[in-house]
Amino acid sequence: MIRRTFIHFLAACAVFALGAAPALAQKAKQGVVIQVSDGDPKSWNQALNVIKNVQTEYGKDNVAIELVVFGYGSGMLKFDSPLANRIDDTLAGGAQVLMCENTMKGQKLTNADMHPKIGYVKAGVIEIIEKSRQGWTVVRP
């Protein structure tokens, strides 16, 4: 009786292990953090194009993307930015758009000044460093 129970236990473990193997073998979601720290509309358009291209190549469900903005890039995330529609499209596509609160303090900006759908990080450069430490790819178009 004990031997039969032990054999059933081993068989169950084998079935579980074989079933779990494909799940363990699946690749982790690719992480990409994109830095924008200047206010040049050409740089911004390029960064937003990069996000779209990465999502197209990997599939938007297979990649996590953060656009991290600090310094002179803050103007393009204001609520009245000429790129507000592209920011909306980027957010709707699943990417996060994050503004540096340190920059906002230095430029005397409030959340009311900014695009209403973006997120915030305390320090943009620290967010980029931490994502890099976690294995994310850092891109500065």
pLDDT per residue as tens digits for the range 76-113: 999 999 999 999 999 999 999 999 999 999 999 999 99
pLDDT of residue 28: 72
Question: 67 with 90: CB under 8 angstroms?
Answer: yes
pTM confidence score: 0.80
pLDDT of residue 136: 98
Across 105-132, average pLDDT? 98
Letter for the amino acid at 85? N
pLDDT per residue as tens digits for the range 34-57: 999 999 999 999 999 999 999 999
Give CA–CA dist 87/90, Å, rounded.
5
Domains of the chain: 27-139 (3.40.1260.10)
pLDDT of residue 13: 43
